[in-house]
Amino acid sequence: MFRSLVLDALKGNPVDRTPIWLMRQAGRYMAEYRAVREGRTFLDLCHDPDLAFEVTMQPIRAYDLDAAIVFADILLVPAAMGMDLSFIPGRGPVFADPIASPEDVARLTVLAPEQSLTGTLTALERLVDALDRPVLGFAGAPFTVACYAIEGQGSKDWVKVRRFMAEYPDAFQALLDKLSDATATWLNAQINAGAHAVQLFDTWAGLLGPQDFRDYALASSKRVFSQISGVPRIYFMRDSGAVLPWLPDTGCDAVGLDWRVSMSTARATLGNMPLQGNLDPMTLFQGEAQIRAAAHRVLAQAGPTGHVFNLGHGIHRFTPPEAVSILVDAVRSFDWRTI
Amino acid sequence: MFRSLVLDALKGNPVDRTPIWLMRQAGRYMAEYRAVREGRTFLDLCHDPDLAFEVTMQPIRAYDLDAAIVFADILLVPAAMGMDLSFIPGRGPVFADPIASPEDVARLTVLAPEQSLTGTLTALERLVDALDRPVLGFAGAPFTVACYAIEGQGSKDWVKVRRFMAEYPDAFQALLDKLSDATATWLNAQINAGAHAVQLFDTWAGLLGPQDFRDYALASSKRVFSQISGVPRIYFMRDSGAVLPWLPDTGCDAVGLDWRVSMSTARATLGNMPLQGNLDPMTLFQGEAQIRAAAHRVLAQAGPTGHVFNLGHGIHRFTPPEAVSILVDAVRSFDWRTI
pLDDT exceeds 90 at position B102: yes
CB A214 within 8 A of CB A237: no
Cβ of A159 within 8 Å of Cβ of B316? The answer is yes
* pLDDT over 90, % of chain A: 97
**pLDDT, position B75:** 98
Q: Does B259 touch chain A (CB under 8 A)?
A: yes
Average pLDDT, chain B: 97
Instruction: Identify whether A148 is a catalytic site residue.
Output: yes
Residue among A8, A24, A104, A258 flagged as catalytic: A24
CA B7/CA A338 separation, integer angstroms: 52
- Residue A336: per-residue pLDDT: 86
Contacts of residue A293, Cβ cutoff 8 Å, sequence gap at least 6: none
Q: What is the Cα A231 distance to its own chain's centre? A: 16
Cis check for the bond before A278: say yes or no (omega within 30 of 0). Answer: yes
3-state secondary structure of B234: strand
Convert the pLDDT of each residue in B26-85 to its tens digit. Answer: 999 999 999 999 999 999 999 999 999 999 999 999 999 999 999 999 999 999 999 999
Give CA torsion, residues B115, B119, B120, B124, to 10 deg.
Answer: 110
Nearest to B262 among A210, A239, A241 (CB): A210
Exposure class string for B145-183: b at 16+ Cβ within 10 A, else e: bbbbbbbbeeeeebbbbbbbbbebeebbbebbebbbbbb
The angle, 0 to 180 degrees and rounded to 10, between the axes of the packed helices A321-332 and A288-302 is 40
Cβ distance of B260 and A280 shorter than 8 Å: no
Q: Please report the number of interchain residue pairs, chain A to chain B, with beta-carbon separation below 8 angstroms.
A: 98
**Mean pLDDT to the nearest integer, B238-256:** 97
Quick one: CA dihedral A137, A27, A259, B277, positive or negative? Answer: negative
For B195, how many CA atoms within 13 A lie in the half-sphere containing its CB? 29
- For residues B249 and B52, what is the distance between their CA atoms, to the nearest angstrom? 33
Q: At residue A313, what is the residue type?
A: H
**pLDDT at residue B336 is higher than 90:** no
Residues of B in contact with A206 (CB under 8 A): 239, 260
- CA gap A71, A221 in Å, rounded: 22
Please, are residues A64 and A70 in contact by the beta-carbon 8 Å criterion?
no
CB B85, CB B145: distance < 8 Å: no
pLDDT of residue A274: 98
Cα–Cα dist B297/B319, whole Å? 21
What pLDDT digit, counting tens, does each position of B311-327 carry?
999 999 999 999 999 99
User: What is the share, in percent, of chain B residues with pLDDT greater than 90?
Assistant: 98
Positive or negative CA dihedral for B122, B128, B130, B133? positive
Amino acid at A44: D
Q: Which helix (H) or strand (E) holds A18?
A: none
Give residue B194's pLDDT: 98
The Cα–Cα gap between B53 and B43 comes to 14
Taking the CA of residue A312 and the nearest CA in chain B, the distance in Å comes to: 9
Q: Tens digit of pLDDT for each residue in B272-314?
A: 999 999 999 999 999 999 999 999 999 999 999 999 999 999 9
A206–B285 CB contact, under 8 Å: no
| Residues in A touching B318 (Cβ below 8 Å) | 159, 163
Residues of A with CB below 8 A from B210's CB?
260-262, 265
Which of these is catalytic: B37, B162, B214, B297? B37
Query: What is the model's pLDDT at position A339?
Result: 77
Torsion of CA A323, A326, A331, A337, to 10 degrees: -140
d(C-alpha B282, C-alpha B311), whole Å: 9
Q: Which of B141, B129, B139, B126 is nearest to B55 (CA)?
A: B126
Beta strands A254-256 and A275-279 are: parallel
Give the H or E element holding residue B28.
none
Whether residues B244 and A239 touch (CB distance < 8 A) is answered with no
Q: Is A208 on the interface with B (CB under 8 A)?
A: yes
Residue type at B301?
Q
What are the distances in angstroms from CA A309 to CA A181, A260, A313?
30, 15, 12
CB A6 within 8 A of CB A19: yes
> What Rg value do the Cα atoms of chain B yield, rounded?
19
Cross-strand bridge partners of residue B256? B236, B276
- Res. A37 pLDDT band, cuts 50 70 90: very high
- Listed in sequence order, the DSSP H helices in B236-287 are 263-270
Q: Do A52 and A119 meet the contact criterion of CB atoms below 8 Å apart?
A: yes
B37 a catalytic residue? yes
A220 and A198 Cβ atoms separated by less than 8 Å = no
CA dihedral B267→B270→B274→B276, nearest 10 degrees, is: -70
CA-closest candidate to residue B246, choices A260, A271, A82, A200: A260
The answer on pLDDT for B339 being more than 80 is no
Q: Would residue B162 show up in a list of annotated catalytic residues for this protein?
A: no
Mean pLDDT of A259-273: 97
**Candidate from B165, B212, B260 with C-beta closest to A209:** B260
In A102-221, beta strands by DSSP E: 135-140, 197-202
Assign A338 a pLDDT band (cuts: 50, 70, 90). Answer: confident
The beta-carbon neighbor of A242 closest among B167, B260, B286 is B260
A317 is catalytic: no
Segment A195-210 mean pLDDT? 97
Q: What are phi and psi of A298, to 5 degrees?
A: -60, -45
Min CA distance, B165 vs chain A (Å)?
9
Helix spans in chain B (H):
5-11, 31-37, 42-47, 49-63, 76-80, 102-107, 113-116, 118-130, 142-151, 159-167, 169-192, 210-212, 219-225, 263-270, 288-302, 321-332
A139-164 burial by CB neighbour count: b if 16+ within 10 A, else e?
A: bbbbbbbbbbbbbbeebeebbbbbbb
pLDDT digit string (tens) for A131-156?
A: 999 999 999 999 999 999 999 999 98
φ, ψ for residue B70, nearest 5 deg: -60, 135
Number of domains making up chain A: 1
Q: How many helices (H) and strands (E) does chain B have?
A: 16, 9
Nearest to B209 among A162, A209, A260 (CB): A260
CA count, 13 A, side-chain hemisphere, B50 = 1
Whether omega for the bond prior to residue B13 falls within 30 degrees of 0, making it cis, is no
Mean pLDDT of chain A: 97
Distance between terminal CA atoms of chain A? 31
Write the CATH number for A128.
3.20.20.210
**What pLDDT, on a 0 to 100 scale, did the predictor assign at position B87?**
96
Q: Give me the torsion for CA of B253, B261, B236, B48, rounded to 10°.
A: -130
Nearest C-alpha neighbor of B286 from the set B301, B297, B277:
B297
Task: Spot the catalytic one: B29, B33, B63, B148.
Answer: B148
Residue A337: pLDDT band by 50, 70, 90 thresholds? confident
Interface of B with A in 269-288 (CB under 8 A): 280, 282, 285-287
Å between A111 CA and nearest CA of chain B: 32
Answer yes or no: A29 catalytic: no
**Minimum CA–CA partner of A291 in chain B:** B166
Contact assessment for residue B86 and residue B96, using Cβ atoms and an 8 Å cutoff: yes
How many angstroms separate the CA atoms of A302 and A18, rounded? 10
Percent of chain B with pLDDT strictly greater than 70: 100
Is residue A11 within 8 A of residue A197, CB to CB? The reply is no
Q: How far is CA A108 from the centre of its chain?
A: 23
> A80 and A114 in contact (C-beta within 8 Å)?
no
pLDDT score, position B338: 83
- Determine the Cα–Cα distance for residues B31 and B62; give it in Å rounded to an integer: 11
Domain with A261, as residue range(s), is: 5-338
